Amino acid sequence: MKTKTRFAIFVAFFVAFSGPSGAAVADSFCRVRWVDDGDTVVLADGRRVRYTGINAPEVAHEDRPPERFGPKARDFNRKLVLKKNVRLEFDRKKYDQYGRVLAYLFLQDGTFVNAELVKGGYAYYVFRRPNTKYDSLLLRLQREAMAKRAGMWAGFPDQRRPFLGNRHSRRFHRMACPFGKGTSPKHRITFKTEYDAFWAGYSPCKRCNP
């Protein structure tokens, strides 16, 4: 095979399987077999997929009760995707530490599943490098949902006390959280309320659970 032919095939393959930012895109659709919760599903081929860029409140587990709005987030996710075909779009990091696939999900009609969950107030935006392709969209939709008091933002139990934010990780912590205390001075920011932290695009620390 001539060098030019090989190069043409390589270019065609790269274009077919890459998005505008160079992130890999899965062009084929796969059926959703099971919905774990508001941000995790299992596909017919056995892959467990964690929606990237967002986080939904937790449902009940053996060792802990459900978080506020967790069951409703799972139910909404079920209505969106269960037994339906979805297309996966990947960003720069494809797997998390648990081996789950990290992806943006799209229905056959083009509905952006991750965005719909944030728009309805069933999930919130989470900054997580290097998967930042849709960050500006997801944060904008979260602010719109907060302003409308949609979903979890209706009757949101806003805690009016200082919270320590980390500009690098974009997480916020209780002031006494050891992980928050380790934030370097140049990355520190203080929020008066939980609501303010979410509005700024920060998500809660999973250790201190502010």
How much is the pLDDT for 131? 97
- CB contact burial 105-123 (16+ within 10 A = b; e otherwise): bbbeeeebbbbbbbbbbbb
CB 66 within 8 A of CB 57: yes
26 and 119 housed in the same domain: yes
Query: Residue 15's domain spans which residues?
Result: 3-154
Q: Domain of 100: which CATH number?
A: 2.40.50.90
Task: State the CB neighbour count (10 A cutoff) for residue 40.
Answer: 18
148 and 163 housed in the same domain: no
131 and 189 housed in the same domain: no
73 and 174 housed in the same domain: no
Q: Domain of 200: which CATH number?
A: 3.40.10.10
Rg (the chain; Cα; Å):
19
120 and 71 housed in the same domain: yes
How much is the pLDDT for 206? 87
Q: What's the CA gap between 57 and 191, in Å, rounded?
A: 21
**107, 130, 154: which is the final residue of a domain?**
154
8 and 82 housed in the same domain: yes
130 and 207 housed in the same domain: no
133 and 209 housed in the same domain: no
How much is the pLDDT for 62? 67
Give the residue numbers marked as catalytic: 50, 58, 100
32 and 121 housed in the same domain: yes
Q: How many domains does the chain have?
A: 2
**125, 154, 183: which is the final residue of a domain?**
154
Residues 6+ apart with CB under 8 A from 89: 19, 23, 25, 26, 103, 104, 105, 106
**Residue 189 bridge partners (DSSP):** 165
121 and 171 housed in the same domain: no
pLDDT tens over the chain, length 210 residues: 444 444 443 434 433 444 444 455 555 799 999 999 999 999 999 999 999 999 998 866 667 775 778 799 999 999 999 999 999 999 999 999 999 999 999 999 999 999 999 999 999 999 999 999 999 999 999 999 999 999 999 988 767 789 999 999 999 999 999 989 899 999 999 999 999 999 999 999 988 888
99: left (phi over 0), alpha (psi -120 to 50) or beta: left
How much is the pLDDT for 45? 95
138 and 161 housed in the same domain: no
> What would the two tokens of residue 20 be?
């505008």
149 and 172 housed in the same domain: no
**128, 154, 180: which is the final residue of a domain?**
154
